[in-house]
C-alpha cells in the first residue's frame, strides 16, 4: 500500500492504495468516476482512455502509482458543468454513439488527437490515429464525422 | 494481478541497487508488455522497478555518424524526433507504426528490445541496421543480442541504457499488420551501407527476428528492387498460428521484402 496523490479533473486527491492498482480501477472504484470504462482489459479497445498530463493513455494498462503527481482528466472532466465540450456536442450532433460503452474512450482519445494538430483533421487521419479505439455498434463513420466536426469547432477560434 | 511493491528509482544506481537487493523483482519501462502479462498472472513479480523516471535514459542524440536513442525513449518520441526523421526516416516511421497512438505514448525502445517479442517491430530495425545495445555493463552487437524466442543476451538485471545505430545510406521497412492484434505478421527492414546490405525479418520466425543472409549477398552485388521477386523463403522455423500458416507467412516475407526494396527511405504498412 502507498499514498498516491494526483490531480483528477482539477481536484487534488490523495488515497492509500495497493501498489498493484491500475489507474482505471482507481478512477472507477476509489473515486467513483465510472465514466471511464473497462472493455477488453487487454490494452486493445480503448474504452478506458483518459488524459494523463495532456496525453491519452489506456488507463487499464497504467499503475495508479505511476500516475502519482500527474494531472488526469476523465470524461467527467470534459464539460465545465454548464456547457458541453465541443467533442460531446459533435458526438450528439453526428449520432456517433449507440450503446455508449466506447464513447468516453473515443472522446478522450479524440480530444488528445485534436489538440495535437493546430488545424482541422481529415477523415483519413482520424481513422488512422484512432486505431486504438474499437466500437462494436456504429461502424465508425459517424464517429469519424463527429471528430472532424469537433476539430473544426475547436480550431475555428 | 498479484500484490506487489512498486518502486520508482530516479537514478541508474538506485535501479541497480534495488534489483540486487530485492527478491523476485522485474524492471518496467512503458509497462505495456509487463502489465498485460501481470494482469493475466503470466508474470508474478513481488517487486516492480519502474525505470521511466530515470532522466539519463532518455535523450536522442547524434555522435559522429551514429544515432543514439536512449532506452526510455517512447515510440512517439522516436517517431517525431527531427533527428531520427532526418538520419534514418525508416526508423522514425517504424516507431510511428507500432501498435496504436496510446501504446506509442508509453512503449519504449528499451522495453521492446529487451523483451524481444517475435512479433515486435523494433528488433527488425535494430538487427537490420546492425545497431549496438549499450547497457550499464557493456556493449552488445545486434547480431549477438537476439538469442531466441523472448530471449536476449542480457544478464539478469542488466539495464539497457541506449541503442546506437549507424546511419545507413538508405533504409526501408514494410510490414503486414494483423488488423486485430496490430502486430506485424511479417515485417522486413532493409538497410544499405557502403559495402554491406542487411535484411532483417520480424513477425515470422519461431525464434524471433532473423536475417535473410542470401538476399543480402545478392543485393550487395546488385541492389535492384526486382531481387526479391522470386525469392525462395524457407518455411522451416516460420510461425504457424491462428493469424497465418507458414506458407502464407513465407509469401508475406517475400512481398514485404519487395515493398521495402521498392520504397527505400520510407515505410509501407499493409493491414
Q: Is CATH 3.30.390.50 the classification given to domain B170-270?
A: yes
Cell digits of residue A38: 473497462
Nearest-angstrom CA–CA distance, B195 and B204: 27
Per-residue pLDDT tens digits of chain B, which is 271 residues long: 999 999 999 999 999 999 999 999 999 999 999 999 999 999 999 999 999 999 889 899 999 999 999 999 999 999 999 999 999 999 999 999 999 999 999 999 999 999 999 999 999 999 999 999 999 999 999 999 999 999 999 999 899 999 999 999 999 999 999 877 788 999 999 999 999 999 999 999 999 999 999 999 999 999 987 888 888 898 999 999 988 899 999 999 999 999 999 999 999 999 8
Number of domains in chain A: 2
**Do the beta carbons of residue A38 and residue A26 sit within 8 Å?**
no
Q: For residue B35, list chain A residues with Cβ-Cβ distance below 8 A.
A: 22, 43, 61-63
Q: Among the three residues A16, A50, A75, which one is the final residue of a domain in this structure? A: A75
Q: What is the DSSP letter of A67?
A: G
Cell digits of residue B163: 541503442
Q: Per-residue pLDDT tens for A69-100?
A: 999 999 999 999 999 999 999 999 999 999 99
Question: B55-166 sits in which CATH class?
Answer: alpha beta
Question: Residue A16 is part of a domain; what is its CATH number?
Answer: 3.10.20.30
Quote the pLDDT of residue B58.
82
CATH code for the structural domain at B5-50: 3.30.43.10
**A97 and A39, same domain (yes or no):** no
**A44 and A91, same domain (yes or no):** no
CA torsion angle A68 A74 A79 A84 (round to 10): 160
**A92 and A62, same domain (yes or no):** no
**A67 and A9, same domain (yes or no):** yes
Quote the pLDDT of residue A157.
56
**Do the beta carbons of residue A33 and residue A76 sit within 8 Å?**
yes
Q: Quick check: is A81 in a domain?
A: no
Q: Quick check: is A57 in a domain?
A: yes
* Contacts of A29-33 spanning 24+ positions with Cβ under 8 A: A33/A8, A33/A9, A33/A74, A33/A76
**A32 and A94, same domain (yes or no):** no
**Which domain does A17 fall in, by range?**
2-75
**Looking at residues A37-49, what average pLDDT do you find?**
96
Quote the pLDDT of residue B226.
85
**Cα dihedral across residues A92, A97, A99, A102: positive or negative:** negative
| HSE-up (13 A, CA, CB side) for residue B33 | 22
Interface test with A, best of B49, B100, B106 (most A CBs within 10 A): B100
**A64 and A90, same domain (yes or no):** no
Q: Is B48 in Cβ contact with A57 (below 8 Å)?
A: no
Q: For residue A66, list chain B residues with Cβ-Cβ distance below 8 A.
A: 6, 8, 31, 50, 52
**Do the beta carbons of residue A129 and residue B99 sit within 8 Å?**
no
**A133 and A95, same domain (yes or no):** yes
> Could you give the ipTM of this predicted complex?
0.95
Q: Is B52 in Cβ contact with A66 (below 8 Å)?
A: yes
Ordered by start, the domain boundaries in chain B are 5-50, 55-166, 170-270
Q: Per-residue pLDDT tens for B207-243?
A: 999 999 999 999 999 998 788 888 889 899 999 998 8
**A38 and A101, same domain (yes or no):** no
Question: Residue A104 is part of a domain; what is its CATH number?
Answer: 1.10.150.120
**A66 and A93, same domain (yes or no):** no
Q: Is B31 in Cβ contact with A66 (below 8 Å)?
A: yes
**Do the beta carbons of residue B108 and residue B95 sit within 8 Å?**
no
Q: Per-residue pLDDT tens for A123-134?
A: 999 999 999 999
Size of interface A-B (CB pairs under 8 A): 72
Q: Quick check: is A80 in a domain?
A: no
**Do the beta carbons of residue A59 and residue A23 sit within 8 Å?**
yes
**Cα dihedral across residues B115, B119, B122, B123: positive or negative:** positive
How close B169 gets to chain A, by Cα (Å)?
30
Q: How many residues can be counted in chain A?
A: 157
Q: Which of B150, B27, B163 is nearest to B95 (CA)?
A: B163
Q: Quick check: is A41 in a domain?
A: yes
| pTM listed for this prediction | 0.95
Q: Among the three residues A27, A44, A75, which one is the final residue of a domain in this structure? A: A75
Amino acid at each position: 500500500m502507498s499514498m498516491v496523490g494526483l490531480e483528477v479533473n482539477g481536484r487534488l486527491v490523495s488515497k492509500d492504495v495497493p501498489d498493484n492498482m491500475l489507474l482505471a480501477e482507481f478512477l472507477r472504484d476509489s473515486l467513483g468516476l465510472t465514466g471511464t470504462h473497462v472493455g477488453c482489459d487487454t490494452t486493445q479497445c480503448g474504452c478506458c482512455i483518459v488524459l494523463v498530463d495532456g496525453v491519452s493513455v489506456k488507463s487499464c494498462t497504467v499503475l495508479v502509482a505511476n500516475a502519482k503527481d500527474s494531472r488526469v482528466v476523465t470524461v467527467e472532466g470534459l464539460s465545465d458543468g454548464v456547457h458541453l465540450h465541443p467533442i460531446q456536442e459533435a458526438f450528439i450532433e453526428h449520432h456517433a454513439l449507440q450503446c455508449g460503452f466506447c464513447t468516453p474512450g473515443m472522446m478522450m482519445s479524440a480530444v488528445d488527437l485534436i489538440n495535437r494538430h493546430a488545424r482541422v483533421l481529415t477523415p483519413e487521419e482520424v481513422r488512422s490515429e484512432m486505431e486504438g479505439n474499437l466500437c462494436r455498434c456504429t461502424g465508425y463513420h459517424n464517429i469519424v464525422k463527429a471528430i472532424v466536426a469537433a476539430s473544426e469547432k475547436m480550431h475555428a477560434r | 494481478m498479484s500484490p506487489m511493491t512498486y518502486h520508482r528509482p530516479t537514478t541508474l544506481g538506485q535501479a541497480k541497487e534495488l534489483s540486487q537487493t530485492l527478491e523476485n523483482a522485474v524492471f518496467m519501462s512503458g509497462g505495456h508488455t509487463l502489465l498485460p502479462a501481470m494482469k493475466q498472472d503470466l508474470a508474478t513479480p513481488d517487486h516492480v522497478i519502474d525505470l521511466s523516471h530515470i532522466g539519463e535514459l532518455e535523450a536522442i542524440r547524434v555522435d559522429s555518424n551514429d544515432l543514439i536513442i536512449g532506452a526510455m525513449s517512447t515510440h512517439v518520441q522516436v517517431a517525431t524526433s527531427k533527428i531520427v526523421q532526418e538520419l534514418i526516416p525508416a526508423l522514425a516511421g517504424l516507431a510511428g507504426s507500432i501498435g496504436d497512438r496510446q501504446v506509442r505514448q508509453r512503449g519504449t525502445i528499451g522495453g521492446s528490445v529487451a523483451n524481444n517479442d517475435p512479433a515486435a517491430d523494433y528488433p527488425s530495425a535494430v538487427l537490420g541496421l546492425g545497431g549496438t545495445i549499450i547497457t550499464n555493463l557493456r556493449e552488445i552487437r545486434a547480431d549477438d543480442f537476439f538469442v531466441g524466442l523472448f530471449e536476449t543476451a542480457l544478464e539478469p538485471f542488466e539495464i539497457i541504457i541506449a541503442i546506437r545505430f549507424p546511419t545507413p545510406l538508405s533504409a526501408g521497412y514494410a510490414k503486414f499488420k494483423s488488423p486485430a492484434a496490430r502486430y506485424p505478421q511479417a515485417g522486413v527492414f532493409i538497410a544499405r551501407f557502403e559495402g554491406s546490405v542487411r535484411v532483417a525479418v520480424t513477425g515470422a520466425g519461431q525464434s524471433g527476428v532473423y536475417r535473410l543472409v542470401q538476399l543480402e549477398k545478392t543485393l550487395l552485388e546488385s541492389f535492384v528492387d526486382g531481387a526479391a521477386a522470386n525469392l525462395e523463403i524457407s518455411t522451416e522455423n516460420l510461425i504457424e498460428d491462428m493469424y497465418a500458416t507458414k506458407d502464407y507467412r513465407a509469401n508475406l516475407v517475400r512481398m514485404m521484402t519487395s515493398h521495402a526494396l521498392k520504397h527505400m527511405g520510407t515505410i509501407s504498412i499493409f493491414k
